[in-house]
């Protein structure tokens, strides 16, 4: 099941599409120039049972969702991603993703966990300086000042997830999802997945392979 995607520009051309397959736990690469595609699979793309309980306004659902939130840096050198059922955030160079000959060993040698978040998130987007993602349990959106942390750590290859800022906690942000930045504005949608009766939710997501009984 394809849940999110991000674009990558190479030599001034929007060429690569990186797609998160949350069910098969794969990162799919599509080359829009050659019309070729390939994929990467790695343990970092798998949901964790120990992080599967998502609670929004006192209502809990259990998910085993894999890789979902994904976004490219503004200089198109790195991709960051995380899973629905995980608090870990990961970084991979686009030079690895763009290479159809790169294997699982190359991916494993270059992927890096940059930090552990305190809350679940299901979407990720980036601006020139910062990344944005939901914090489902606290009905908020978090801003990660990536540029500030790069200055602290010395390089993007060594950056860690530190400088987080809450934007505006409100119940209107229940299950914020589908985030995007355009012309200086942050757009997002919300849903009421946590409000669906558990039996109906189980049937729906079990069919998608997202949750377990």
CATH number where 131 lies:
2.120.10.30
Please name the residues in contact with 51: beta carbons below 8 A apart, sequence gap of 6 or more.
85, 86, 87, 120
Residue ranges of the chain with pLDDT lower than 50? 199, 201-203, 207, 211-213
Give the pLDDT score at 52. 84
Residues in the chain: 213
- What's the pTM value of the predicted model, to 2 decimals? 0.88
Q: Is 39 within a domain?
A: yes
Residue 31: which domain range? 2-208
Q: Is 167 within a domain?
A: yes
Number of domains in the chain: 1
Give the pLDDT score at 195. 63
Q: Is 13 within a domain?
A: yes
Q: What's the rounded Cα separation, in Å, for the pair 99 and 162?
A: 30
Q: What's the rounded Cα separation, in Å, for the pair 167 and 8?
A: 27
Q: Is 213 within a domain?
A: no
């Amino acid at each position: 099941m394809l849940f999110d995607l991000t674009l990558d520009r190479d030599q001034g051309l929007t060429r690569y599409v990186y797609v998160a397959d949350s069910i098969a736990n794969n990162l799919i690469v599509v080359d829009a120039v050659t019309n070729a595609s390939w994929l990467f699979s790695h343990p970092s793309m798998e949901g964790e049972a120990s992080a599967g309980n998502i609670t929004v306004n006192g209502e809990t659902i259990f998910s085993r969702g894999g890789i979902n939130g994904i976004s490219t840096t503004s200089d198109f050198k790195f991709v960051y991603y995380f899973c629905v059922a995980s608090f870990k955030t990961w970084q991979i160079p686009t030079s690895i993703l763009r290479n159809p000959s790169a294997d699982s060993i190359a991916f494993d040698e270059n992927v890096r966990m940059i930090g552990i978040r305190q809350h679940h998130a299901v979407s990720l987007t980036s601006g020139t300086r910062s990344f944005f993602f939901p914090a489902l349990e606290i009905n908020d959106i978090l801003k990660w000042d990536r540029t500030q942390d790069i200055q602290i750590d010395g390089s993007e290859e060594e950056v860690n997830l530190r400088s987080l800022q809450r934007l505006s906690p409100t119940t209107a942000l229940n299950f914020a999802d589908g985030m995007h930045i355009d012309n200086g504005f942050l757009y997002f949608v919300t849903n009421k997945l946590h409000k669906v009766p558990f039996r109906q939710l189980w049937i729906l997501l079990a069919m998608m392979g997202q949750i377990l009984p």
